[in-house]
Chains A and B, each alone.
Chain A
Amino acid sequence: MISHVLFAATAVLLILTYIYAVVAGSPVYSALSMGAAFFLTSFLFVLLGAPFLAAVQVIIYVGAMLIMFLFIIMMFNLNKEPAAPVQYKASTVVSYLLIMLVLVVSFFMARGVMKMPSGFTVVGFGSAENIGFNLLRNYVLPFELASFILLVGVFGAITFVKKRNRV
């Protein structure tokens, strides 16, 4: 019961923080709101009994990516530009309607989740051992291929930044 209440509260806060990340006037507020959302997502992992994923979520998304975002926002001082006045074009209205639709659909989906018994995870689900076994035994090929994609990304970044001697 308590886990249901916690889940509902987290879910509501999560949706609110993500919406604020989109509509906030200042980029810094957007980034910080997104940080709060990442943190709440990790709390969802905790509720699911996967503390390893929760910790990794915070370390990677909040501890590395978001700091990077903030660094760039502050570096270029984006906040100094006057925020464009909000104009209610057709696209704005459509996107707000879509958000409403997502909220309604997720509400009905959440009702289904609420009916499930609270202890629906198996023992050891999401533990560091389990994830390690799955990644390095059952799914070792996709895992290594993903690391290659990241490597290509690193090469791409270096090529962009490198000074070109001859063009």
Chain B
Amino acid sequence: MVDYTTVLLNTVMILVVFVALLTTVAYLTFAERRVSAYMQDRLGPNRVGPWGLLQPLADGLKFIMKEDITPLEANKFLYTIAPMIAIIPAMLTFAVIPFGHDLFLRGRVIDLRIADFNVGILYVFAIASMGIFGIIVGGWASNNKFSLLGGLRSASQFISYEISMGLAIIGILMVFGTLNLSNIALYQGGLWFNAVPKWGVLVQPLGFIIFLVSVFAETNRVPFDLPEAESELVGGYHTEYSSMKFAFFFMGEYAAMITASALIVTLYFGGWQVPYLHNIGFVIPKLGIFHLQQWLVAVMEVLSFVVKTGFFLFFFLWVRWTLPRFRFDQLTALGWKVLIPLGILNIVITGVLIMYKVI
């Protein structure tokens, strides 16, 4: 017998998350322009609506109205399909990210995540690696030297940094002993020495730094945005793209950024955890229990996730507008000669610490 209420609840949750993701993508482009303006002592877009808040709508409308150009020498089929390959995986990866614990509503427990998947973290890696094909294929199909170089850079950069990223998370998997993102978030609510929340960043500081650097490279953001380095490659892989096809690449990049931030938060900053907050309220060792309503706890947990993710999104923008770009040989050297050995060292250290029951 199909439980229609559950189906309905899941559908509503998927819709809410999808709309929230798209809205965040739209406002992230706006935030990028406002933050960069603030850092460069300018005002940024402030004409459309109050404080320029309707700017993303105007941008979207502009993208739809623009002429959609396909170069004569381009491979039509691959040129059209590439933006789709870029955006779909970026939207899919968010499905396994837990954005809250449980919500008790009318005698029913609602898990605040779309899919509770046993190998959640591997799913994120697998789907995210599909997204890179959009960039490579788009760069090749444009039949333009700059685009091709952008695509090639993207391919080699992605392969190099995927290894260090994988090595970094092995530490986290060793500490928490699970591949399930919901459980990783849940276990970070435990206390270390009965006092400090056992967040990933505290038990895996080195792993966190490796992961953070790798994520910047994987999402093609400054200082590793070589696939679209405008001073060398015009626009990189999307040089020939215009109108909504370009917008799809753009949205894919920002959606990947949101998923990356959410993943950093889930793996290293406790996900939806608020320190000492449990389903019954705040439980602080040696001080006692402060009771709270369950719905209030759930709201606080979701808010905690949103605030932490928001901080890392700001961090992405912050880095972009304050750091210069790497050279390509520096990028490859950093990946292969620094991050990968550090990742292996991190695994060894974690193993020793687990053996002596420190973490």
Q: Which residues of A are at the interface with B, using a C-beta cutoff of 8 A?
A: 28, 32, 35, 39, 42, 51-52, 54-56, 58-59, 62-64, 67-68, 70-71, 74-75, 127-128
**Contact flag A63-B126 (CB < 8 Å), given A28-B140, A68-B159, A74-B140:** yes
A residues in contact with B78, CB < 8 Å: 28, 32
**Contact flag A52-B162 (CB < 8 Å), given A58-B129, A67-B136, A71-B155:** no
B92 nearest CB across to chain A (Å): 12
How many chain-B residues does the 8 Å CB contact rule pick out?
25
The reply to whether A35 and B133 contact each other, CB–CB distance below 8 Å, is yes
User: Would you list 25 pairs from A and B whose C-beta atoms are within 8 A, ordered by A residue?
Assistant: A32-B137, A39-B130, A42-B126, A51-B117, A51-B123, A56-B122, A58-B129, A59-B122, A59-B125, A59-B126, A62-B126, A62-B130, A63-B125, A63-B130, A63-B132, A64-B159, A70-B137, A70-B155, A71-B136, A71-B156, A74-B140, A74-B148, A74-B151, A75-B152, A127-B118
Contact with A along B157-168 (1 / 0, CB 8 A): 011001000000
The reply to whether B162 and A63 contact each other, CB–CB distance below 8 Å, is yes
Contact with A along B232-274 (1 / 0, CB 8 A): 0000000000000000000000000000000000000000000
B300 at the interface (CB under 8 A from A): no
* A68 CA / B148 CA spacing, docked (Å): 15
A160 nearest CB across to chain B (Å): 18
The reply to whether A71 and B152 contact each other, CB–CB distance below 8 Å, is yes
Q: Which residues of B are at the interface with A, using a C-beta cutoff of 8 A?
A: 78, 117-119, 122-123, 125-127, 129-130, 132-133, 136-137, 140, 148, 151-152, 155-156, 158-159, 162, 179
The reply to whether B125 and A67 contact each other, CB–CB distance below 8 Å, is no
* A39 CA / B126 CA spacing, docked (Å): 10
B residues in contact with A51, CB < 8 Å: 117-119, 123
Besides A35-B133, A59-B129, A62-B129, 9 new A-B residue pairs in contact (Cβ under 8 A), listed by A number: A28-B140, A32-B133, A32-B137, A55-B122, A58-B129, A63-B129, A64-B159, A70-B136, A70-B155
B residues in contact with A54, CB < 8 Å: 126
The reply to whether B179 and A128 contact each other, CB–CB distance below 8 Å, is yes
A residues in contact with B158, CB < 8 Å: 67
Q: Which of B117, B119, B158 has the most CB of A within 10 A?
A: B119
The reply to whether A128 and B119 contact each other, CB–CB distance below 8 Å, is yes
Chain B residue nearest in CB terms to A50: B119
B203 nearest CB across to chain A (Å): 21
The reply to whether A55 and B119 contact each other, CB–CB distance below 8 Å, is yes
* A128 CA / B122 CA spacing, docked (Å): 11
A2 nearest CB across to chain B (Å): 13
* A52 CA / B121 CA spacing, docked (Å): 10
A residues in contact with B137, CB < 8 Å: 28, 32, 70
The reply to whether A67 and B122 contact each other, CB–CB distance below 8 Å, is no
B residues in contact with A63, CB < 8 Å: 125-126, 129-130, 132, 162
Chain B residue nearest in CB terms to A71: B155
A residues in contact with B125, CB < 8 Å: 55, 59, 63
* A110 CA / B125 CA spacing, docked (Å): 32
The reply to whether A52 and B159 contact each other, CB–CB distance below 8 Å, is no
B residues in contact with A70, CB < 8 Å: 133, 136-137, 140, 155
* A74 CA / B132 CA spacing, docked (Å): 15
A residues in contact with B148, CB < 8 Å: 74
* A43 CA / B132 CA spacing, docked (Å): 20
* A71 CA / B156 CA spacing, docked (Å): 8
A residues in contact with B117, CB < 8 Å: 51
Chain A residue nearest in CB terms to B137: A32
* A67 CA / B162 CA spacing, docked (Å): 12
The reply to whether A67 and B140 contact each other, CB–CB distance below 8 Å, is no
B82 nearest CB across to chain A (Å): 11
Chain B residue nearest in CB terms to A57: B126
* A128 CA / B121 CA spacing, docked (Å): 12
The reply to whether A67 and B126 contact each other, CB–CB distance below 8 Å, is no
B residues in contact with A67, CB < 8 Å: 129, 132-133, 136, 155, 158-159
B201 nearest CB across to chain A (Å): 24
A residues in contact with B151, CB < 8 Å: 74
* A54 CA / B159 CA spacing, docked (Å): 19
